[in-house]
Every structure is written in structure tokens, then in C-alpha cells.
Amino acid sequence: MQRKAVSSMRRRQLGFYVLMAAPLVFLLIFYFYPLQEIVRVSMTWRDRLQPEVLWSRLWASSTRRVIGFTFGQAFISTVLTLLLGLPGAYVFARYDFPGKRLIQALTTVPFVLPTVVVAAAFSTVLGPRSLLAERLGAGFDLRYTLSAILIAHVFYNYTVILRMVRGFWSTLDPYLEQAARTLGAPPLRVFWEITLPLLLPVVATAGILVFIFCFTSFGVVLILGGPRFATLEVEIYRQTIQLANLPLAAALSLVQIFFTLGWTLAYTRLQERISRPLDLQPQWVTQRRPRKPLEVVFLVMNLSLMAVLMVYPLLALVLRSFGRGLQFYIALFENPSHGIFYVPPLAAVGNSLRIALLAMGLALILGLLASLGLYRQRLGWLVDALFMLPLGTSAVTLGLGYLLTMGRPPFRLRGSVALIVFAHTLVALPFVVRSLLPALQSIQPRLRESAALLGASPLRVFIEVELPIVWRALAVGAVFAFTVSMGEFGATSMIVRPDMPTIPIAIFRFLSRPGALNYGQALAMSTILMTVSVFGFVAIERLRPPGTQAF
């Protein structure tokens, strides 16, 4: 009996090593190897490793300005998002009203949009061709200003506050507040002394997440900020692509990695506090119809803000893309320059589809193997966190790492489609793991144990027991991977060949060129990409299994 137990344990360990080998090797090659090369290059001067050089590069006045602006705009964006998002979270947490579920779904759409689409949408709202410019005069143009960056960041991250805080707030027991009011406490004191302390962990968690997103902002700042403004992400891109100053780009990437990983760790620790047990109540107990006139006014004001902030830019984007009928869409099929090196815009659609399908397949395979290994061995959070590291790492930093490592033996992948597929797979892998792992962990262990006792092999247990339970989560992971790949811009902008553009790269090129036709084609492609993202989000919401999900 003891020999059988030892043999069974060895088989489980061997199975674990087989499952985890491919995902860990993939992380080693396409994540850790590029990052260690960034560390080496950041400390190199005249082909010699000199760590003191890193400090001199980071202490330069131009570098300090970029770092200061990155922190400053992220802080202001986070504060604005919290100030505007918390009242909306209260509305959805405490009030029930017609159309609430539809509005909740619509408010989530901006967050799943690629950054180039968001930047293109706000260029139609804040630029000289916008309706506001027609009303306020020809001199109106908020592009390439700090205001444009802040507005776009609030638009992009408003739903983070809305979903995270609203979900927690809607289950807090309202009798705590009612008891305080019965004892004579005014509403403001009730909020500060009862409600806010309970909400503080989730508000801090949501705030850190928004700060991370704004700190690593790339497409929004690159397009709406213009040449005047640069975050660390944008400066890494410029130093690499435009100035070929790889040591300085590597030094900036180290700063980026240090802070984003630190805040990601703080986010995960705060997430644990949110999971602590409280006396939570069902939503039918905590929500009611607004009765008083002030409640109705408060509700209407917040819904109006959501419409202006989140619906109007997207609607303006779509309408402007049809400003000349179908001319801008028809132009996607044409070659107006008749140049032999011209890449038709429609080719970018084909490139994106092929790359997204390949990245989705590879991310599903690696994510499934990693999730099964983590689930069956019940490993600790540290191993689990390994597969979350790409989520807390800048895509532009990864692109720089690939430029440094993938153009020489033993890989020589620079300029190939395969490298883009691998980069997209790495970015999508955390989404697949976080979609699958909770579903696997929700399976009753006795189901798997019973099948094993009846003689079923691990493969048969997976096919006949586990797969029928987790197939919806697997489908969610597939849609996540496909949608993330279609919209990926940061890493792709660093490693893509000029003759192999994806949709986000084509949009950026069109926006960078003068002329109404180029601008119109950028809007048309943005509308196409937005449609794909929205359909992907709708599919995720329909396929999402019940229970707690990470995304």
C-alpha cells in the first residue's frame, strides 16, 4: 500500500512537471531573458558593465522631468477618476432604476477598447474638426494638451472605479448607516465614520489599479499628448525608435519595472483585505428606487455625466467615420499612392486577425497547462504570481527587451511574425490563467478523486470531468486572448516590420499623417476595431461562468 502511495505521488509530480514545463520555459525565454538584458544594457558604458552609469542616466534633468510628469499625470488622473467615479458607484450600489443593467454593460465598454481607439475617439471630440470647435470657434483644439490626456484617462478608467467599488458597496449592510442616523448622526458624519472605513480597502485597491494604468499609459499620451508630453512609456519608445539610445531606454525601463511591479504587489495585498469576511447583504436588500427629488436629481446628474464622458466620444467617432458616407471605408481597399511599397489598410486587418488567432491558440494551450498545474498541485501564491508578472510589466518595455535579445543567436526572431505572436501571447497569458484557474478551483475535489479511483487516467479525468465544467471559462480566456491581441499596441509598435502593420499600428500611422482622407481612414479602422472589442466583451459577459472572477 505504501509503495502504491509513493508511486502515485511520483506520478503526480511527474505530471506536474510535464504540465508546467512549457509555460515556464515560455516565460523564461520571452519574459525573464529580455528583462535581464534590459538590466545589463542599462548599466553598460562603452561595452563595459558599470552600475554607476545607471544613476547618472536617471539623474539627468530631462529624465527627471519625464519621471516627474509620469507620476504627476498619473496622480491627477487617479484623483479625478475617483472624484467622478465614486458618486457613480454609489448610484449603482444603492439605487434601482429602469435600464440599469444595460447602462452598467455600456459603461464597461470603454475599458475593453484599445488605447489607439480611445485616442482616436477623443481626437474627434477635442480636435479642430469636432462639434465643440464648430460651436466655440476655429481656435478650439485641446489635442496635445495635458487636459486631453487627463480627460482620456478618466474616460478609460472610470469603469474600474464603477465596477470595483459598486460591487463591494452594493453588498454592505445598509442597517449600519441607518442605525447611526437613528442615533442622531448627520449623513456626512455617517459616511466618514461608518461607510468610508468599510470602503477604504476597495477604494484604495481601485485607485492603485487606476494609477498603474495611467502610469503605464502609452497610446493615449503618444497620440493626444503630441511632442510636448511624454510618460516613461512614450520616452522609452522615442529613445528606442527615433533616437536609437538603447542604454537610456533600458534605464527608463528599469524605473518602469520597479514601480509597476511594486504597485502590482500592493494591489494584490489590498485585494486580500477585500476578501475578508463581512456581513454582506444581497442586492435586493441594499438597493431601492430613488424617492426624494434630490435623489432623482443626483441620479440624473450621474447618468448624464456617464453619457457625456463615455458615450459621446465613441458615438462621435462612429458618426465622423461615416462623415462622407462610405468613402473612408472604401478607401481602406484602395492604393491611392500607387506605390509598390504601399501596404493597403485592409492588409492590416488580415495581419491582426492572423496574429490574434495564432496568439489565442498559443495562449490557450500555455494557459491551460499552467492552470492545470497550479490547480492540481495546490501551489502557493508565489508560483501563481509568476504568470501574473507580464500583466504588471509595460508592453513597451517588453518590446525593448525583444529588440535587445531576439535579433541574435540563439533566437533571431526580430522582424518575424512569430515574435509578434509570442509578444501578444505573453500579454494575453495572464488573462487566460485568471479566467481558467478560478473555474478549476471551484470543482469539487471528490469528483476528480472518484474518477481516479475508478481507474480513469489524468487525461480522461480532464476530458470527461473537468472540461465539461470549465469550458465556459476556457471560452472566456479565448475571447480575452483574441481581443487583447487585436488591440495590442505597445510591444507591437517596437517590433513590427513596416510592411506588416496591425490595425492599431495602421491607425497610429493614419493619425500621424496630415490630410482629411488619412484622418477618415483612421476613424474607419478605429470603428472596426471598436466593433470587434465590443463583440468580444459581450461574448465574455455571456460566457462568463458564475462565481468570483479576476477580470
pLDDT surpasses 60 at 4: no
CA nearest 490: which of 505, 471, 469?
A: 505
Q: Is the pLDDT of residue 359 over 60?
A: yes
Each residue of 266-320: pLDDT tens digit? 776 776 555 444 445 555 556 677 888 888 898 899 989 888 888 888 888 888 8
DSSP for residue 288? B
How many structural domains comprise the chain? 1
In a domain, 184, yes or no: yes
Quote the domain boundaries for residue 517: 19-45+59-543
Asked whether residue 8 is assigned to any structural domain, the reply reads no
Q: 405 pLDDT band (50/70/90 cuts)? A: very high
Task: Count how many residues are written for the chain.
Answer: 551
Determine, yes or no, domain membership for 3.
no
Provide mean pLDDT across the span 5-9.
Answer: 49
Asked, for residue 53, whether it belongs to a domain, the answer is no
pLDDT at res. 448? 67
Greatest mean pLDDT among 103-107, 183-187, 395-399 lies in 395-399
Q: Is the pLDDT of residue 401 over 80?
A: yes
| pLDDT 10s digits, 152-195 | 999 989 988 888 888 777 777 667 767 777 777 777 777 777 77
Q: Is residue 170 part of a domain?
A: yes
Distance CA 128, CA 136 (A): 10
**Residue 425, pLDDT score:** 95
- Residue 551 falls within a domain, yes or no? no
Are the beta carbons of 321 and 520 closer than 8 angstroms?
A: yes
Confidence of residue 83 (pLDDT cuts 50, 70, 90): very high
Q: Residue 479 domain-assigned?
A: yes
Query: Quick check: 215 and 231 in contact, CB under 8 A?
Result: yes
CB of 320 within 8 A of CB of 526?
Answer: no
Per residue in 190-242, pLDDT (tens digit) is: 777 777 777 888 888 889 889 988 998 888 898 888 888 889 989 999 998 88
Buried b (16+ CB within 10 A) or exposed e, 522-538: bbbbbbbbbebbbebbe
For residue 341, name the pLDDT band (cuts at 50, 70, 90).
Answer: very low
pLDDT at 548 over 50: no
CATH of the domain at 535: 1.10.3720.10
In a domain, 507, yes or no: yes
